[in-house]
Amino acid sequence: MFKKSRIIYLISSLFISFLVLQSCNDEGKENGESKGNANLITEDEKGTKVNLKMRPEVGDTLRYKMVANTISDEKSPATNDKDLHTQQIMTYYYTQEVSEINESGVITFKMKFDSIMIVSTVASGDSSVSETYNSNIKDSISALPDFIQYNALIGEYFKLRVSDLGEVYDAYELENIHEKIFIALGDTLTQQEKATIKESMGSDAVKSIVQNQYQKFPDHEVYKDSSWSFTNETSLLVFPIKNLLHYTLLDIVEENSEYLLKIEPSLGIEFIRKEHKDKDLTIKLINSNTGGKGTVLFNLSRGCMFKKETKTNIDLEMKLSAGGQSANSIQKLSTTLNIELL
């Protein structure tokens, strides 16, 4: 059941890339003067506009805490028509160092995870079971196969390439992480098994965690009180969906000689298809209530996110039909995701 709750978190992370908070430290201020990137703010007859860019400085060291809290409620034939409540709180502590910025503005970070904690709870009726994994504590929980990949991440530096518009291009130099996984599994793996592990714990897996940290920006200037949007297609359970990500630049403020952008993100979900057939089983979406909201403060002077807090809610009611019989399934998912400067 704990494995199921982790799967639920991974599903939710596919479409909550806007539900994040990234922070930067206060090192590098110079005599209280506004520092760097002020030229990204200009004015014309239409008003104040901003060239939204991530422009940190080489040598900056940024330390973060990311907390993802996912709560799921389900009542379906899979739960014997009983209410099943699961909660998972994943806490990541990690460090990033800006090692290079090329002429195109692509930023290379040297990154490592300092610690990871996962608290999972499953409750049904009067019974509940909890499990806590802490990478800093070597106990029977941390030795379970489910946590080998998290143990391998701790303390190992790798590289991350991110565009100045907030898109994570790739993660690389993961060889030490892979070797730790091989050793934990007894180092008796075949070459094919090692290749499978490298793929499952490769660049895409790391990106799925870290991409949530970054705010994606448009490739054009944005006026105060105006908006920009992104769309992408993915899936929710068995249904293909389109995520509608919308951002509004609410204000530009100067605080402690630095420029902060106040941004309001929102998420809408459009179901591309509401019926799924798999052999003799048909799943039809009857009702849905989905969406998300958040608040963002982006430090334009430092070229990094200052604060972001967001929440997504998904309520689904489905009808399952097979062999002339049918049953309803109700699933609710709530996810909050925050990152803060340490």
pLDDT at residue 38 in the model: 65
175: domain range? 2-341
Question: Where are the alpha helices (H) located in 2-110, listed in sequence order?
Answer: 2-13
Q: What is the DSSP letter of 212?
A: G
- Residue 227: half-sphere exposure toward Cβ, Cα within 13 Å: 10
For 26-57, the pLDDT digits (tens) are 444 443 444 556 688 999 999 999 999 888 99
Question: Cα dist. 303→5, 22, 54, 157, 259 in Å?
Answer: 35, 11, 4, 23, 10
pLDDT at residue 301 in the model: 86
Structure tokens of 238? 């068995």
d(CA 302, CA 91): 25
Count the Cβ atoms, other than its own, within 10 Å of residue 138: 10
222-223: strand order across its sheet: 41-44, 47-50, 222-223
d(CA 71, CA 121): 9
Question: Cα dist. 276→12, 196, 263, 271 in Å?
Answer: 19, 29, 37, 12
Positions of E strands within 11-56:
41-44, 47-50
Strands 168-172 and 222-223: unpaired
Dihedrals φ, ψ of 125, to 5°? 65, -130
d(CA 95, CA 114): 7
Whether pLDDT at 155 is above 80: yes
pLDDT at residue 205 in the model: 87
d(CA 159, CA 216): 20
pLDDT at residue 3 in the model: 40
For residues 99-121, average pLDDT? 96
Work out how many domains the chain is built from and give that number: 1
Predicted TM-score of the model (pTM) = 0.82
For 186-237, the pLDDT digits (tens) are 878 888 988 988 888 888 889 888 888 888 899 999 999 999 999 989 998 8
pLDDT at residue 116 in the model: 97
d(CA 35, CA 215): 21
Is the Cβ–Cβ distance between 142 and 133 less than 8 Å?
yes
Whether pLDDT at 11 is above 80: no
